[in-house]
Amino acid sequence: MKRDFLRVSDLTKDEISALIDRAIELKSGKDASACPLIGKSVGLIFEKSSTRTRVSFEVGIYQLGGQSISLNPKEIQLGRGETISDTAKVLSRYLHAIIIRTFGHDRIAEFAENSTIPVINGLSDDHHPCQILADLMTIKERKGKIEGIRVAYIGDVNNVTNSLIEAASILGFELVIACPEGHEPSYEVLDYARENKGDIIVLRDPREAAGKADVIYTDVWVSMGQEAESEAKKDRLKGYQINSDLLSCSNRDVTVLHCLPAHRGEEITDEVMDGPNSAVFDQAENRLHSQKALMEFLVK
């Protein structure tokens, strides 16, 4: 039976743990000659711009022996009014998997419902599960474990935060979110956390959230599609910058994460992003290895 990866909760705790361990193996060069995608083709539909997701998937598909096919939404019939369901049914006859980076999560959910091949969420407005696999891999590399650590997410709550909440609920790490009033996580993801006994705390004070943190995580304050409210959001979030003063509240060996792209000088300073606590570029590299492990698992 085909499996999709639309959100972190599509995988079990054991599956996520196994994928992280496999990604670390692949990064080390073990099984470098393994090519589970030989003779297989993977499509990429990107309705949003991308650097890390596009390059890491295309390189990963190539390294696993497969062929990637970029399907520009403006050049296929989906961009001229063909339905999502018809597109999914047709592409299922040609491809072995498809990666979609889109806006509304309902679009990728509808595609997966009508597809007979695995569908991977490269990003939607509500979830960013592939990013979280790389984040978990980075935490495991830096801390030696995931369960029991304290992660502080500080700033604008978005698709990354939603996926972190699911990951924390499944894997058993503490997640403390610091955000201004009106920027809280949705009821849906908080309900999921409660149902799964997730250790999720939402605070206003970023210094309190950073206290005793093993990992501090942030993202841009203005995501794609939110440019119209740019200045208002920046004004609300100006006290939530990741800087050396905030790091002084956390553990000395705190690891700093940012899913990139970064707006240096807004949500994070150069001093922190380029400093000794930063794992930002390891985190970006790990997109490649974690997604290779994911495709090896999903594409049969």
101 is catalytic: yes
219 is catalytic: yes
189 close to 166: Cβ distance less than 8 angstroms: yes
If phi over 0 gives left and psi between -120 and 50 gives alpha, with beta otherwise, what is residue 19? alpha
Distance in angstroms (rounded) separating the CA atoms of residues 60 and 64? 6
Inter-CA distances, 7 with 18, 109, 135, 138, 285, Å: 17, 10, 14, 19, 21
Catalytic residue among 130, 179, 249, 259: 259
Catalytic residue among 22, 96, 105, 128: 128
Alpha helices in the chain (DSSP H): 13-28, 52-63, 84-94, 105-113, 129-143, 159-171, 187-195, 206-210, 230-237, 244-247, 270-273, 280-298
6 close to 110: Cβ distance less than 8 angstroms: no
The DSSP bridge partners found for residue 154 are: 178
236 is catalytic: no
Structure tokens at 32: 């470098």
Other beta carbons within 10 Å of 69: 16
Catalytic residue among 22, 287, 289, 291: 287
Distance in angstroms (rounded) separating the CA atoms of residues 11 and 156? 26
43 close to 88: Cβ distance less than 8 angstroms: no
Catalytic residue among 219, 249, 283, 289: 219
Secondary structure element (H or E) that encloses residue 3, with its range? none
Catalytic residue among 7, 101, 105, 142: 101
By DSSP bridging, strand 97-101 and strand 150-154 are unpaired
| Residues forming the active site | 101, 128, 131, 219, 259, 287
